[in-house]
């Protein structure tokens, strides 16, 4: 489980105790944890053993499916525009959204004991609920990695109450994405339509559909409240270019779609920032630009490799100009550290080496003498996130990028061959 200080959460797990039917939210979750009872559609089933799922994924020569058509209808008489838009989104996209249920023989390991009694005789219990959506008619379903990472069995429930067992095709912890697959025979699968990140802007009206607190088929709405957020992934890595929204995102929404007015997916809901472990108006979605790269690779190869340079960087601020020996008008990224045996070290990139004393210790690095990155492949960079976003959107391991750097007051270009991010 990852946290953004002071209280950003993976909407990861919430507990439904059978006794008293009390919901307890754990730190940072968008999944719903249940103990003892699970509701499927309009009926409930007691926990118990479920049969093994067969491996059905065929990952050879995966072809991106054609985009389904979205029908935009004029609002009926007497209905305001916003209501008509939301109704249109819900009617067209809700059939594509699924409830993802994770079965395990033990409670989640990152919190206190959640089950009143452990299962026996090798039985599996439904302990985690999240969301997902249909990617294509071949049965592939997208959700969050943190929803299914501990799963022993995965079950998906469609809007009409039908249920299927799913195989985990692959997971990518660095983008918090995972792909499932069901046998599509007998199911009426309705793939989502995907939008473009370049069309997303702050103030855009958006909607989320998912299963908050296990309440399947719930729609919430709001706006894009910020763009370009970096949210935590595993260890020291982050997910750049993420979308911030004030649409209500709660435990159980993890893995569900964030949608524009046309009903196109622009992100996958993944985290919240909240002191009360529930929606506080600040949620985060993995951007469609990353989803479009990661998901096809997982389908075809079972994994996705992120580009890696091997540097730690800091955005240059004018207040640091005197310490760094640069004009206040300079813009770029300070290379604070170059990790050994990485593409950056092999390319000869230099990190900061000389300690300095500064009254702006909270803003300026306490060392100098390294390189400053001003552009990647001819694209100017101002912040370190600009570098990360470029690598995620446009590059793959094995590609060679050209870094424009400033070294000892002289501008030069350095070719750097990217590697795959270490596991």
Catalytically annotated residues: 146, 176, 254
Angstrom distance (rounded) from CA 268 to CA 254: 8
Q: Please give the structure tokens belonging to residue 100.
A: 């993802």
Helix, strand or coil for residue 324?
A: helix
Give yes or no for a contact between 1 and 18, defined as CB atoms under 8 angstroms apart: no
Angstrom distance (rounded) from CA 11 to CA 8: 9
Angstrom distances, CA of residue 62 to CA of 166, 167, 340: 19, 17, 36
Widest pairwise Cα distance in the chain:
71
Residue listed under structure tokens 């060392």 = 367
Give yes or no for a contact between 94 and 209, defined as CB atoms under 8 angstroms apart: yes
Alpha helices in 250-342 (DSSP H): 288-301, 321-324
In the beta sheet, which residues pair with residue 380? 375
Give yes or no for a contact between 399 and 419, defined as CB atoms under 8 angstroms apart: no
Half-sphere exposure of 189 (CA within 13 A, CB side): 23
Which run of H or E residues covers position 87? helix 81-93
Cβ partners under 8 Å of residue 80, min gap 6: none
Which run of H or E residues covers position 367? strand 367-368
Q: Is 28 left (phi over 0), alpha (psi -120 to 50) or beta?
A: left
Angstrom distance (rounded) from CA 35 to CA 38: 8
Cβ partners under 8 Å of residue 186, min gap 6: none
How many Å separate Cα 191 from the centre of its chain? 19
Q: Crossing angle for the helix pair 384-394 and 288-301, nearest 10 degrees?
A: 40
Q: What DSSP assignment string belongs to 130-165? A: EEEEE--TTSEEEEEHHHHTT-SEEEEE-TTS-EEE
């Amino acid at each position: 489980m990852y946290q953004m200080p002071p209280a950003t959460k993976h909407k990861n797990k919430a507990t439904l105790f059978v006794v008293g039917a009390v919901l307890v939210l754990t730190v940072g979750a968008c999944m719903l944890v249940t103990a003892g009872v699970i509701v499927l559609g309009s009926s409930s089933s007691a926990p118990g053993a479920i049969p093994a799922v067969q491996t059905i994924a065929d990952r050879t020569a995966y072809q991106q499916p054609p985009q389904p058509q979205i029908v935009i209808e004029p609002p009926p008489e007497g209905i305001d525009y916003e209501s008509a838009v939301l109704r249109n989104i819900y009617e067209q996209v809700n059939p594509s959204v699924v409830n993802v249920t994770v079965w395990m023989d033990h409670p989640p390991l990152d919190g206190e004991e959640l089950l009143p009694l452990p299962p026996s005789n090798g039985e599996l219990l439904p302990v985690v609920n999240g969301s997902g959506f249909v990617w294509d008619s071949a049965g592939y379903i997208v959700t969050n990695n943190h929803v299914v990472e501990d799963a022993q069995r995965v079950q998906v429930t469609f809007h009409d109450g039908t249920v299927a067992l799913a195989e985990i095709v692959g997971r990518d912890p660095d983008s918090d994405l995972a792909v499932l697959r069901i046998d599509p025979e007998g199911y009426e699968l309705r793939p989502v339509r995907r939008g473009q990140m370049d069309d997303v802007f702050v103030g855009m009206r958006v909607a989320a559909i998912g299963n908050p607190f296990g309440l399947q088929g719930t729609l919430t709405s709001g706006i894009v409240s910020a763009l370009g957020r970096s949210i935590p992934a595993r260890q020291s890595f982050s997910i750049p270019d993420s979308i911030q929204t004030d649409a209500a995102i709660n435990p159980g929404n993890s893995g569900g779609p964030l949608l524009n007015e046309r009903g196109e997916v622009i992100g996958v809901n993944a985290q919240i920032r909240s002191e009360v472990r529930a929606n506080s108006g600040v949620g985060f979605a993995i951007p469609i630009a990353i989803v479009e790269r990661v998901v096809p690779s997982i389908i075809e190869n079972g994994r996705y490799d992120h580009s890696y340079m091997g540097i730690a960087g800091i955005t240059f601020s004018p207040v640091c100009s005197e310490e760094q020996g640069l004009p206040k008008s300079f813009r770029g990224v300070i290379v604070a550290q170059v990790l050994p045996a990485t593409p950056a070290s092999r390319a000869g990139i230099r990190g900061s080496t000389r300690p300095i004393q500064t009254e702006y210790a909270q803003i300026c690095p306490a060392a100098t003498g390294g390189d400053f990155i001003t552009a990647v492949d001819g694209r100017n960079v101002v912040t370190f996130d600009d570098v990360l976003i470029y690598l995620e959107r446009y590059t793959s391991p094995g590609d060679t990028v050209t870094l424009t750097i400033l070294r000892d007051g002289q501008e030069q270009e350095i070719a750097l061959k990217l590697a795959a991010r270490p596991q």
